[in-house]
Amino acid sequence: MEVRTYMDYPVAIYSNVTEQLNSSSATSSGLAGEEPDPHQHYTISVFLSCLYTIFLFPVGFIGNVLILAVNLSHKGRMTAPDLYFVNLAAADLVLVADSLIEVFNLSEHYYDMAALCTFMALFLQVNMYSSVFFLTWMSFDRFVVLAGSMSLGRSMPRARLTCCLIWVTSALFTLLPFTVAQVQHAGELHFCFANVSQIQWLEVTLGFLLPFCVLGLCYWRIALVLVSAQREHSGLQRRPQKRKALRMISAAVLVFFACWLPQNMFVSVHLLRGDVDGTLWHDYPLTAHMVNLAAFSNSCLNPLVYSFLGETFQDKLRSFIKENISWAKLDSSCWSS
């Protein structure tokens, strides 16, 4: 995955951001075409990182932890969608937790060492792929259910197999290009796997373009089915539920698009320009940092969109809170007696 800017997760944060913000010899201008001011860029980047840490990081960390705790502790039988949510939350939680290191990688040369740069790229790329693939599969699964093929992939054995395949696929999409790149660059002491342009193209296509097309197609078909059902069933009780489902679908597509598009556009411009030395990051360090923060935000907002806007999870959460309050009261009464 690109240590520079792809998928924000892993991308542009590593050495690129470090070089960008510390580079006072950049020859290009900033966003407005003025002479770059490294100190000003650094100050604004730290401010944006603090905003992310204060407002988005807690939402992502607590939200994904709650999804795991509520679903894993629920007394009822776990369903296939629950299993998908748990795996998605696990991948997002890893990315959110690591984001604190990445978003503040501004002046410290954390990734000057090729080994550390490569390890972080591999680690983040696997979780990035798994997060996006789980989102894509969950969208396809919802479309299949609404289309009437209820049996496809809905049994727990099939759901477990699907989750395993997604994790294995994510690992293969990371390790196979890594192996090829290492063979091609054998003997280069300062080579970092994340900076290979072919791998960056792979991330843009497999990690954004293809998933976004699948998400858009699935949710477009889902929206058509729900609108058609609204027209056929004019019952008062059905309409609010349909509206909630449409709102969640709209929010899901919007969040995915808004978080990932800036990062992928930035990386695509870098690749189309043929930059091999990271000049785009040197020219626009503040923009690079902003698109990285936007990409990380997707894992923070996923819990809100896919779980807290869903009535099923809300019911489980209320039950989880009531059970823990009951246990807390029982425990306190035992201690007091």
Token duo for residue 179 = 């192996």
Q: In this structure, is residue 337 part of a structural domain? A: no
pLDDT of 43 over the 80 cut: yes
**Does residue 331 lie in a domain region?**
no
pLDDT at 135 over 70: yes
Residue 1 domain-assigned (yes or no): no
Q: Per-residue pLDDT averaged across 68-77, rounded?
A: 84
Q: How far is the C-alpha of 90 from the C-alpha of 121, rounded, in Å?
A: 18
pLDDT at 91 over 60: yes
Q: What is the mean pLDDT of residues 157-168?
A: 94
Task: Report the C-alpha gap between 248 and 251 in whole angstroms.
Answer: 5
Assigned domain for 96 exists: yes
| pLDDT higher at 110 or 120 | 120
pLDDT value of residue 159: 92
Please give the residue that has the higher pLDDT: either 57 or 144.
57
40 belongs to a structural domain: yes
Mean pLDDT of 113-138: 85
Q: Is residue 328 part of a domain?
A: no
> Tens of pLDDT along 283-337?
788 888 899 899 999 999 999 887 777 777 888 888 888 888 876 655 566 665 5
The whole-angstrom separation of Cα 135 and Cα 157 is 19
Closest CA to 250 of 208, 209, 309: 309
Q: Which of 156, 95, 157 is nearest to 131 (CA)?
A: 95
Domain count, the chain: 1
Contact present, 200 and 2 (Cβ < 8 Å): yes
* pLDDT tens, position by position, 168-182: 999 999 998 888 888
Q: How many helices (H) and strands (E) does the chain have?
A: 12, 0
* CA 34 to chain CA mean position, Å: 33
What pLDDT is recorded for position 286?
86
Q: How confident is the model at residue 33 (pLDDT cuts 50, 70, 90)?
A: very low
pLDDT in tens, 274-288: 766 555 666 788 888
Is residue 321 included in any domain, yes or no? no
Structural domain span for residue 24:
15-315
Q: What is the pLDDT of residues 137-156, one digit of tens each?
A: 988 888 887 776 555 556 88
Q: How far apart are CA 216 and CA 229, in angstroms?
A: 20
Whether 5 is in a domain gets the answer no
Place of tokens 């309050």: 325
Name the phi and psi angles at 23, rounded to 5.
Answer: -85, 110
CATH of the domain at 158: 1.20.1070.10
